Amino acid sequence: MKHLWLGWVLLSAAAPAMEMTVFDADGSVRQVPLPAAPPEQQAVPALPATPSAAPAVAGQLAAINPMPASTGRMRHTLALLYRNDNLDWRIAPGDEQPDTLSELSWHDLKLAGLEWRAQWPLAPHWSLETLLAGASEIGGSVRDSDYALSDRQAEFSRSVAEVDHSHVADAALGLRLQLSESRLAMPGVALTGGVVWHEQTLRASRARQEVSRADLCPPSLCNSFTPPPVGYGFDAGSQYRADWRGGYLGAQLEFWLQPALSLRLEYQYQRLKYHAEANWALRSEFAHPLSFSHDTWGHNHQGQLALNFFASDGSGWQLALSGSQARTGSGDAEVRWADSGGVAQGSGLRLQAVNWRSAGISLGYSSTF
């Protein structure tokens, strides 16, 4: 019977397999390989570390980060602007019977112009922001209607005129607080606040009479006014200038869609004082150059959606859609009548409401200093 002696285990540097030396009873020596370890006990070779792509992406974002608060540079955007505006107002007698005596609507005002926005860094996370915009009218119409009964019933006069040589302007100055920077996985958040001003100078010409029913209007309402006959054409030569000014609070979100492409959402709430003056040639009994004026308070909801394409130096292009909807409460409306001596006197009417709606699109180029 043979006896096995267990010697020692030899580890070969050239071959990682392990062997055992066995001494038989007859004195012979032989090498017996040891069985391999189960797969779950085998060592797993360490994989070489692979650099993450995140630093590279972060480097690209840092190179094109458009936030002036981060880069310490002024940023401005000059854009071509197209807008479509609608503005209307209505007045009523002091006792509000009827609830709408006269209503004037500026409809489908097509406007083209320029818009300039800029940001100046002031301190970490803080910057100064400005807006200047102006546009001229390239089309539109205005309708002037008068009613004898509430709910816009018994329309006794209506004239329609073309809009001519009208323009609008906007300006804003405020502060911006950057709460968080934009990243691929997280939007940048900013809060804004400041002062704002909107102005509309609207002129009407080449009017024609479409409704003339003096028999529907009681003398207490019509005073000495007699509507022109239907089809009568005349050069209106009238102007209505509206002024909105006040303060705003807003918020902005910016999302990075690609390292060089971002989407920005902006919203503002504006509290505004409204004042308007008119030189109205449609009514010969009005005083001139101030025929009537309106005063009240209102608010405006304004938003913008902007797509930004950036180059490595921070410059780029911006395509933006914007919109606003403003409305006032009731207020004062003073009509000034001209008597035979040319002296104007006040009239106690009530401004019921003013509505202003605007939608626009702009294409601009951005750069930094």
Instruction: Give the C-alpha separation, 236 to 104, whole Å.
Output: 14
**Mean pLDDT within 161-178:** 96
H-run or E-run covering 6:
strand 5-11
Q: 20-58: per-residue pLDDT in tens?
A: 665 565 656 566 666 555 544 444 444 444 444 444 544
Alpha carbon distances (Å) from 294 to 89, 182, 297, 353 = 10, 44, 10, 10
At the topology level, CATH places domain 78-368 in Lipocalin (2.40.128)
| Per-position b or e across 291-322, b if 16+ CB within 10 A of its CB | bbbbebebbbebebebebebeeebebebebeb
CB 353 within 8 A of CB 100: no
H-run or E-run covering 279:
strand 261-279
Instruction: Give the C-alpha separation, 131 to 149, whole Å.
Output: 44
Domain extents for the chain? 5-41, 78-368
Rounded to the nearest angstrom, the gap between the alpha carbon of residue 329 and the centroid of all alpha carbons in its chain is 23
Instruction: Give the C-alpha separation, 363 to 308, whole Å.
Output: 10
Residue 48: its pLDDT value, please? 47
Q: 174-194: per-residue pLDDT in tens?
A: 999 999 987 777 889 999 999
pLDDT at 243 over 60: yes
The pTM for the full model equals 0.78
pLDDT at 76 over 70: yes
Give me the residues paired with residue 64 across strands: none
